[in-house]
Structure 1
C-alpha cells in the first residue's frame, strides 16, 4: 500500500528527529542525574506519523521520592528553560523547540502497576509492553492515519475517540490494519477484548470490572487488568468507526487516510439549497482538554439556539487546527413574523392568572391545552439571528472571541 510510504517517517526524517531528541535528552540528564529518562508516546513506541514531532519524555524518579512533590522538583531543576506548566493529576511541563513539542512528565519509577502513586506512573509500562509486542509498526501507523483522517483519533473529553494506546493495542491484537477493519465492521456492543487473558470468560470480566469503566468497547489494559483502556470512547464514536470500516471495505482507497481540510466551496456545492453559517472562534488559554471541552460546548450551544429559533440544521461540524471553525448547514427559509410563547396548561387556573398578569399588554390565546401569547421576532433571517446570538454572555465564558466569517 503506497500510503505507508507517505505516512511513515523517512530515514532522513528519523535521523533529524533523533538528533534533536538526543541533544534535548543530554540537556535534561545534566539536570536530573538521579532519574531515568524514557521516550514515551508514539515516538517512543515507533508508531509516529511523518511530520508529527510531539515527544513525550518520562522523567522516572527513584522510588525513594514517593513522598516528595516530584513535579515541583522537576520545575525547579528546569527553571532556566522556558516551559509551560500543564495542570493535571500530576503537573507536567511543555517545552516548544521549533516544530517540536516536548512534554516532560514526572513519574515514580515502578515495575508493576500496583506500585503506582499516580495514574501517570503506569504510562511507561505501556511503552514497554507495546515495544515488546508490536510486530509491524507500519500497521499501527495505518490504523492511526485512518482514524486521524476521519476525526476518530484522540481520547480527550471533547473528542471521546480512540487514544494512541488503544490504536496500538487493537492493531497488535488483530495482527494488522486490515484484520482490524474486517473484524470491526461487524462489531456489536459491548465488544470485549482481553489481550493477556486475565479473566476466564466475559462474565467474570464484566463482574469484576468497575461499572464506571464499562463502555461500548471494553479493552482490558494488558499491564493493568482492572482498567478499561477504551473507557473514554463514546458510543457515538464507536458506531462511527464501525460505519467507517464498512465504507472502506466496500471501496478501499487512499482517500480514507488523508486528512480532509475544511472546504467551504465544496460544502456550498453540496448544499446549494441551504444557507451555510461559518463562525470563526478564538480559543481561551489553558489545558487542551479543558479548552477543547469549552469549544465543544460553544459549538453545541450555537447549534441548539439555531434549532430553538425555528430552523432545521442539516449538517454541523467544527475543527480546531490553526484556527477554530464552526459551520452549520441550515434550511433556507424566512421565519414567521411572530413566535408563540406558551404558558401553563389551561386547567391550572392559578398559574394561568399569573401568566395573564405577566403578559397583560398582550392578547392571551388558548389552544387545546395551553394559553399562549404571540411575540414579534427580532430576526426572521438566519445570519442576523446568529450575529445576535453570538453576543450571548454564556459564549464569552467559552471562547475568547467569536464572529461570523
Structure 2
C-alpha cells in the first residue's frame, strides 16, 4: 500500500494542471457574461420573456482547465406549453450563437450545443418553477447551482476537479446516454458528502453492497422506503428533490469500473488514471494477425447515417444492439462480447464477438418429463413424423428428447435475413431500422479491414475493444 505522501503528490501534480489560471479564468468568465447578454437580447428579439442565468461548472467554479463547458439557462414562464419549450429555446439559442458551429441535443426536450471561440456552450431551457413544483427535468438546475455554491469551499472545488478528471481518465464521466456515467453535479455532491477526492475513492473502493447517500437526511427514520422508490445499485438522493436519484443514469458497468479503478489507484497511484495514454491503432497487418490468433469470430454490421440527434441516436443504438445480441443467443450462438460504435454522422457499427459464427446443423432438443402426460402427447405429435427431426423422439432419463435440424447455422445469414427490412421484428429501434433498410453490410473478422483502414477513430475503438484491458490496469 503506498504512503499517503505518494497519493497526495500525484493529486497535487494533477490539481496544478487542471485548475484554471487567472488568464483562462478571465477569458471564460468574460465569454460567459457575453453569452448571457446575447441570449437575453435574442430572447427579447423574439419577444420571449426569459430570465437568463449562468449555471453548471463555470457558475460553480468546478470546471477543468482546458475543458470549460458554459451552460446558459433560459428560465421561461410556466405559461409556455411543454411542447413548445424546446422549439422556443432553439430559436433563441441559434440567434444568440449565429456563426458558431451548432448541434441540436436532446435531454427531456431539445437544447442547443454551440462552439464559440473554441468553447462548448450549452443553451438550455427550463421553467421558472418553485422548488418541488417541477414542470421539466431542467427546472432543478438553478437550485442545484445554488445548493452547491453554498456548500463548496475553495479547497473542495479543487477536490471536485480531481474527481472529475479521474472519472474522465477512466471513462466513467458524463451522464449522457452515450456514456451512462457520473454527472458533474453527482461529483460535486460526493465531495460535499465525503469531503475530499481520496475519501470518495476510499468509500467506493470498499463498496460491497448497494450504496445510499442521503446528505440532507430526507429519509431519516424512513430508510425502508428507499428500495420502493429506487432500484439502482447507487442511490444519491437529490438534496433539492427527495424523489430523484442523481445517480440513476449511472450504468452498472460504469459504477463498478469506478470501484475497481479506485482500488487500483489507492494501491498504486499514477498519473495514467487521469491522463490515459493515447491508443495507437493496430496496423492492418497486426489487426489481421490478432483476429486470426483470437480463435473467436467477430461479426460487424456497418451502416450509414441515422436521422436522429446524438442522444436519441445512442439510446436507439444501445437498444438495437441488445435486441440483436438476444436474437443471436436465442438462435444458440454464444455471444462473448458485444458493443456499438458511431461517429454520430455517417458511420455506425454493431460489433459481436461470437465463440463461432457457424453452428452444427443438428441440435439436441429436450422434451417434457414423462409425468406431464398431455405435454408428452403434444411433443410426440409434433416431432414423430417431422421432416426436421433427425433422431427420436427417444427417452433419456425421465423425459423425451429429440435431435432436430437447426433453422439457422450461420450468424451472418441470420442477421442478413432479419435486417433486410430494417429489423423491426427483431427489436431494432425505429430510426436505426430506417437506416438499415436503406443499406448495411456485414463483415466477418479480417474483412473489416475495408472500414478499419479508412477511419482512424473506428480503428482506435476496435483496437481498444480487442485489447479489452482498461489502460489504468496496464503496468507502467
Are residue 153 (structure 1) and residue 173 (structure 2) matched? yes
Asked whether the 8 Å contact 1:310–1:335 carries over to 2, the reply is no
Aligned position for 2:460: none
Deviation at 1:182, TM superposition (A): 1.0
1:328 and 1:130 map into 2 onto residues whose CA distance is 43
Aligned position for 1:360: 387
TM-score (norm 1): 0.78
Which residue of 139, 144, 156 corresponds with 2:159? 139
How many equivalent residue pairs? 393
2:170 and 2:22 map into 1 onto residues whose CA distance is 27
Deviation at 1:183, TM superposition (A): 1.6
Q: CA-to-partner distance for each residue in 1:24-44, whole Å, 9 max, x for gaps?
A: 332212133553322222333
Aligned position for 1:286: 308
Aligned position for 2:189: 169
Aligned position for 1:35: 50
1:334 and 1:160 map into 2 onto residues whose CA distance is 30
1:238 and 1:89 map into 2 onto residues whose CA distance is 23
Aligned position for 1:25: 36
Bigger fraction of residues in helix? 2
Q: Which moved more, 1:293-302 or 1:257-266?
A: 257-266
1:198–1:139 CA distance, 2 compared to 1 (3 A): same
Give structure 1 stretches of 5+ with no counterpart: none
Q: Which moved more, 1:36-45 or 1:86-95?
A: 86-95
Deviation at 1:181, TM superposition (A): 0.5
Aligned position for 1:295: 317
1:163–1:281 CA distance, 2 compared to 1 (3 A): farther
Aligned position for 1:254: 271
Q: CA-to-partner distance for each residue in 1:134-176, whole Å, 9 max, x for gaps?
A: 2232321221222223232233456443222111110222111
Which residue of 163, 180, 184 corresponds with 2:200? 180
TM-score (norm 2): 0.68
Asked whether the 8 Å contact 2:71–2:122 carries over to 1, the reply is yes
1:11–1:314 CA distance, 2 compared to 1 (3 A): farther
Q: Which moved more, 1:133-142 or 1:28-37?
A: 28-37
Q: CA RMSD in A?
A: 3.9
Deviation at 1:335, TM superposition (A): 4.4
Deviation at 1:57, TM superposition (A): 1.1
Aligned position for 1:123: 141
Aligned position for 2:462: none
Asked whether the 8 Å contact 2:20–2:64 carries over to 1, the reply is yes
Aligned position for 1:339: 362
Give structure 2 stretches of 5+ with no counterpart: 1-9, 449-476
Asked whether the 8 Å contact 1:337–1:376 carries over to 2, the reply is no
Q: CA-to-partner distance for each residue in 1:58-112, whole Å, 9 max, x for gaps?
A: 1123xxx3223372544555675666665554543444546444332222335x5
Q: Which moved more, 1:368-377 or 1:182-191?
A: 368-377
